[in-house]
Amino acid sequence: METPMGPQSVVWRENRHRGIVCAVGWTSGDETVSVGDDQAMLRWSLGSSECSAVAQMRPGVFPTAMHWFPRVAQRQTPVNDVFLLSCTDGKILLVTATGKVEKTIEAHKGAVLRAQWSYDGTGFVSCGEDGNVKMWSRNGMLRSVLASTGRPVYGIEWSGDGSKVLYCSGEHCFIKVLKTQMSAIKWKAHEGVVLCVSWSSQSGLVVSGGEDCRYKVWDSLGRPLFTSGPHEYSITALSWNPDGDLFAVGSFNLIRLCDQHGWSHSLEKLQTGSLTNIAWSADGTQLVASCANGHLLHSHLVDRHVWWSNLEAIQTKRRTITVKDVKSEVARETVELRDRITKMALGFEHLVVTTIRQCYIYSSKNWNTPSIFDLKEGAAILLLLCEKFILLVDGSSMFVVTFEGRVQAQIKLPGTVVSGEAITTRTTGISNDTVVVRDRADPKTVHLFEALTGKPVGSGKIVHQCDVVEVRIDQCGPAMGRKIALVDANADLFVGIVNTFGESQRLLKIGAPIHNIHFNSTNNMLAGLQDTSVLVWTFPSVVFADKQLLQRTTITVDGGGNVSKSPQITNFHGNHVLVRRADGALVDLLVAPFFGGLVEFVAESKWDKAIKLCRLAKDDALWALLAGCAAAEKNFYAAEIAYAAISEAEKVVFLNELRRETNPQMKSAQMVAFSGKVLDFEGALTRSGDIFRAVMTAVAMFQWDRALDLALRERAFLDIVIGYRQRYLKEMGLCETDKRFIAHLSDVEIDWNHIHEKIAEENAKTRH
């Protein structure tokens, strides 16, 4: 788990511009470039705190904003180390990294206020004082005028997939869907002119700031999620970090860091005048801001915490991490690295840290001699751990690495075309055997790779019917049963089996509307948020063994009014689900400890203990969990007891049969039937003349039509079929509407004593 805290800021005082710094942007790694009203273009090396002049722009160039050609797109066409410079005289300049003006574009009347490359670098959009919003080709040919608002447009941003453009004008924000004739979505955002907007390509959230001295968070349809209190001065700059979970807010002499719920993590008072622009580094660990008084503000995130079990690691300085054992406050270790830290992860007795050059792997048993290896690109953007491996994304490459620092596999990511979203912890997962990654360009597709070899698993992918927003993979149990869980854009939660050996049906829906899912790493329980409650699927795979048990094994942990709107699960540790509320407070919700205990017993095949625990707890959901586990593990003895306890008599009968079956062929057929493939099995039974069991199988599987057919054809067990049917309808709160059943209702008298006797009789008959 990671909590970002306050940014530590360093403000340069030397070599500063004479006059306002108008724009700033990142070249690569540790370097930024700024341009000011003094026409100087300066290069700042942040590692060594050096600043040098690159070029002097021609007199009369007064910039308003800068945007560098996107880094991902640069890999395809490496010549594009250029940026767009918007100027007050209505021109947009295409400038190289050495300060050469490649192209001058007459773009707007009055000042150009902003120009933004699309994420794939195929074009850009611009806006200006003239109220126009324009779209341009890569080389600066006008493609279209998207809007003419009549009032200055201060901010413009692309959506992550490049299909929409957000802009603001007056008190309103607009979202224009490209390639349609539809007019833009429009909403009133502020009580005053909107001065800045930022749109996260990751979370899809919008943040806006204005002359009313507030900033607000919106969803991608413009629905309000958060409104800040009023500040003393206008909000002049806003920027989402690359992960889309934090944004920076700039105002006069002030910078703030907020999470996606708007909650402010830190506030820093400055002596800089207004912040004119804010830009994050690609790895999200630093930001720079241009300041009206000629300074360049440079902040890096420190006080980042990660914790695992009783270990906690805190990044205290740019190159320093302190690790402590929470249980014994005494045991403290400090690790110093040679270069600036970019990512860190803690888990499974290891601390893994990446810097701008290397990756360090520390064992918690030995903090002195880490395994170290060099990073190819030095641009770690993701670090995930499972018990066996580290998953590292370095720039454009993905690696599976052992804790000894050996590269086990390199994964070739399909669909990593230039556009597309960054890879994040929400859309990537690793377990001992499998790596799962959502496609960057096509969010409907999820890729599966073998962790050992980096090769695709089976067909290598699952294509869902709509966009996937979250993916998780479970951690324990054999690789054969490995599951993924995913949440799609409709907030539907699905689970799927990784290894299906060629079968196509992979995903089954288990809940809605759900977001923010987490697997527990030691018992495969899955937690997710539904509105303000936490739901725990104590045994998600039960959906593959006995679908009817899914609801019964799902428990709801009510926030009891303590969890308010838009919370987030931050951790599922032991029996505690830690939820961060929208206001930032942490709420600890307790899952009854029996569930974890039961899963442990089952994992160790201690069925008697599991049954005892259920008897002790007397909880229906616990019995249902046992029934599901037992069915999945094919322990029919425990399943029979558990199903009896939750009054699923027809299943008990069926299981009873199963347990006593001596014919191995029949037994395996029954197992198949129990996992839902009932037709083959019934056929086998009727052929062998065992009508009772065929009827009971149909009943157990709720195949009412077949059960009735059999009973009518054989003129037997009609009361059993109709009795169970009625009970089933009653439980479901339904009335009989099936004409065939209504027609036969008067043929029988439902006497449960008689039915039970008959069942016992039949059981006795087949016992020998």
Ligand X SMILES: *[C@@H]1O[C@H](CO)[C@@H](O)[C@H](O)[C@H]1NC(C)=O
Q: Which one of residues 64, 200, 276, 520 is an interface residue with ligand X (CB under 6 A)?
A: 520
Nearer to ligand X, 227 or 533 (CB): 533
Q: What stretches of 504-648 show up as alpha helix (H) in DSSP? A: 542-545, 593-603, 607-617, 620-633, 636-645
Which of 47, 230, 560, 676: binder of ligand X (CB under 6 A)? 560
Backbone angles phi, psi at 163, to 5 degrees: -95, -10
- For residue 508, the minimal CB distance to ligand X (Å) is 22
- CA 24 from centre of chain: 31
Which of 178, 481, 596, 716: binder of ligand X (CB under 6 A)? 596
Cα separation, 465 vs 451, whole angstroms? 26
Bridge partners for 290 per DSSP: 277, 296
Pick the stretch among 192-200, 234-242, 571-579, 670-678 that binds ligand X (CB under 6 A).
571-579
Q: What is the DSSP letter of 304?
A: E
Q: Which two structure tokens, joined as six digits, stand for 515?
A: 């977001």
Complex with ligand X: residue 125 or 430, whichever CB lies closer: 430
What residues between 749 and 768 interact with ligand X by CB under 6 A?
none
Q: How far is the CB of 567 from ligand X (least distance, A)?
A: 13
Smallest gap from Cβ 590 to ligand X, in A, equals: 8
Q: Residue 103 and residue 96: Cα distance in Å, rounded?
A: 10
Q: Which is nearer to ligand X, 248 or 525 (CB)?
A: 525
- In this complex, which beta carbon is closest to ligand X, that of residue 96 or of residue 432? 432
Q: How far apart are CA 296 and CA 299, in angstroms?
A: 10
Angle of the 620-633 helix axis to the 636-645 helix axis, nearest 10? 160
The pair of structure tokens assigned to 317 is: 């300085």
Alpha carbon 454 to chain centroid distance? 22
Which part of the chain contacts ligand X (CB under 6 A), choosing from 22-30, 181-189, 519-527, 649-657? 519-527
Taking the complex as a whole, the smallest distance from the CB of residue 165 to ligand X amounts, in Å, to: 40
* 560 vs 584 by CB, closer to ligand X: 560
How far apart are CB 472 and ligand X at their closest, in Å?
11
Quickly list DSSP for 365-378.
TEEEEEEEEE-SSS
Candidate ranges 23-31, 95-103, 566-574, 665-673; the one touching ligand X (CB under 6 A): 566-574
Which residue of this chain has its Cβ atom nearest to ligand X in the complex?
560
Shortest Cβ 628–ligand X spacing (Å): 18
CA atoms of 705 and 436, how far apart (whole Å): 41
The answer to whether 522 contacts ligand X (rule: CB under 6 A) is: yes
In this structure, are strands 101-106 and 507-511 parallel, antiparallel, or unpaired?
unpaired
Residue 232 to residue 420: CA distance in whole angstroms: 38
Report 457-476 residues binding ligand X (CB under 6 A).
476
Touching ligand X, residues 96-135 (CB under 6 A) = none
CB atoms within 10 A of CB 430: 24
Q: Which stretch binds ligand X (CB under 6 A): 48-56, 146-154, 547-555, 567-575?
A: 567-575
The amino acid sitting at 707 is A
Q: Which amino acid is at 170?
A: G
Footprint on residues 377-416 left by ligand X (CB under 6 A):
387-388
The H or E element containing residue 228 is none
Residue 312 interacting with ligand X (CB under 6 A):
no
Cβ-based nearer residue to ligand X, 87 or 577? 577
Query: Is the CB of 470 or the CB of 546 nearer to ligand X?
Result: 470
Tell me whether residue 733 is exposed, middle or buried, using C-beta atoms within 10 angstroms of its C-beta: 0 to 12, 13 to 18, 19 or more: exposed
**Residue 758: its H or E element:** helix 752-765
Nearest approach, Cβ of residue 387 and ligand X (Å): 4
| Selected binder of ligand X within 201, 285, 521, 697 (CB under 6 A) | 521
Residue 481 found at the interface with ligand X (CB under 6 A): no
Interface residues toward ligand X, by CB under 6 A: 387-388, 432, 476-477, 520-523, 560, 562, 572-575, 596
